[in-house]
Amino acid sequence: MKTGDNLYKLIKFELMFLKKYLFLFMFLLIILVLFNLIIIKNIELNNNLDIVKIMYGNVNKGLFYVYWIYIILLYLIILTVVWRPVYNNYDMNVILRFIKIKKYWNNKFIIHFIITILFVVLLILVTVLISFLQYGILPINNKTLFLITVILILNFILHGEIWLFIKNVFDYKIATFIIFGFYYLGTRLPNIKSLLHFGLYKQLLNDGYNDLEIVIIILIKILFIFLLKFIISVYQNKQDIYIKLL
């Protein structure tokens, strides 16, 4: 079986699995839209303000704090679905037909990355569209919007991998707790210079970035993403596939 074919079939399986939760996802999306409506209604916009920068750069202020908790919850739900344990006969028969377990895990990672990209693009799109409907202005210049989207995607993927690593080694409850711990620390220590925290792209949010700095930040994040993926893959390949045991 070719790698591309393999990936396509696994994506198809994930989509078939997700059909069951379609109404739940629609409901979560509606709440996301409502959140955006409430926040955007409460922001005094003038032409110099930039709605995406405000929404995704003010984690530690009032309503934004709650909004970000909601976003993190959404992403954790996505991670839980993508990395769900194999526990019924059908799932087992799917895996057994993929023959090579390394390829299976690689494809799972690709699905994780694709879903994260779609998730962040959806977040940004909802915000952009609602602010446009509300104020009739397209809120941001393209380059900054693109960079914010890219860095958010990389941050989410990094957090997702950390969650997965902790889940594999310990437990998903501990992993979830630690991810929220990171968030809490991030809001309490806004100037922290960590790869995970978007303090590193504060300059970007303040329009004070230079291209080289941003490129270096992005490259370092990508490097860490692949490093973590490698570590997790090595661990996964040594473990039982059937995780939910006894």
Partner 1 sequence: MDKILIKDLNKVIKNNKILNNINLQLDKNKTYGFVGKNGAGKTVLFKILCGLLKPTSGRIVIFGEELHKDISFPKSISVILEKPGFLDHYTGFDNLWYLASIKKKINKEDVKNALKKVGLDPHDKKKVKAYSLGMKQRLALAQSIMEKPDLILLDEPMNGLDKDAREMAYNLINEEKERGATILMTSHYQEDIESLCDKTYLLEYGKLVNNFQ
Give the nearest distance from C-beta 160 to partner 1 in angstroms: 24
Give the nearest distance from C-beta 6 to partner 1 in angstroms: 8
- Cα–Cα distance for residue pair 1/115, rounded to 1 Å: 23
Give the nearest distance from C-beta 114 to partner 1 in angstroms: 19
Q: Which two tokens stand for residue 27?
A: 């409901």
Please say whether the beta carbons of 118 and 157 come within 8 A.
no
Measuring CA to CA, how many Å separate 119 from each of 37, 43, 74, 93, 95?
Answer: 18, 24, 9, 29, 26
Q: Which stretch binds partner 1 (CB under 8 A): 17-25, 64-72, 156-164, 185-193?
A: 17-25
Neighbours of 40 (CB within 10 A): 20
Give the nearest distance from C-beta 99 to partner 1 in angstroms: 6
Give the nearest distance from C-beta 92 to partner 1 in angstroms: 6
Q: Which two tokens stand for residue 129?
A: 């569209």
Query: What single letter denotes the amino acid at residue 129?
Result: L
Q: Which stretch binds partner 1 (CB under 8 A): 35-43, 183-191, 207-215, 237-245?
A: 237-245
Q: Which residue has tokens 């914010």?
A: 148
Measuring CA to CA, how many Å separate 110 from each of 7, 208, 211, 224, 239?
Answer: 8, 33, 28, 16, 20
Q: Which two tokens stand for residue 105?
A: 């895990």
User: Residue from 42, 47, 212, 240 that binds partner 1 (CB under 8 A)?
Assistant: 240
Which residues have C-beta within 8 Å of that of residue 58, sequence separation ≥ 6? Answer: 64
- Per CB under 8 A, which of residues 142..171 are in contact with partner 1? none
Residue from 68, 147, 153 nearest 116 by CA? 153
Q: Which stretch binds partner 1 (CB under 8 A): 72-80, 149-157, 166-174, 234-242?
A: 234-242
Cβ proximity to partner 1: between 88 and 142 the closer is 88
Q: Is 2 in the site for partner 1 (CB under 8 A)?
A: no
Q: Is 95 in the site for partner 1 (CB under 8 A)?
A: yes
Q: Is 173 in the site for partner 1 (CB under 8 A)?
A: no
Q: Which residue has tokens 């799109």?
A: 125
Q: Is 234 in the site for partner 1 (CB under 8 A)?
A: no
Q: Is 17 in the site for partner 1 (CB under 8 A)?
A: yes
Q: Is 226 in the site for partner 1 (CB under 8 A)?
A: no
Give the nearest distance from C-beta 48 to partner 1 in angstroms: 49
Cβ proximity to partner 1: between 96 and 122 the closer is 96
Cβ proximity to partner 1: between 1 and 38 the closer is 1
Interface positions with partner 1 (CB under 8 A): 1, 9, 12-13, 16-17, 19-20, 86-102, 238-242, 245-246
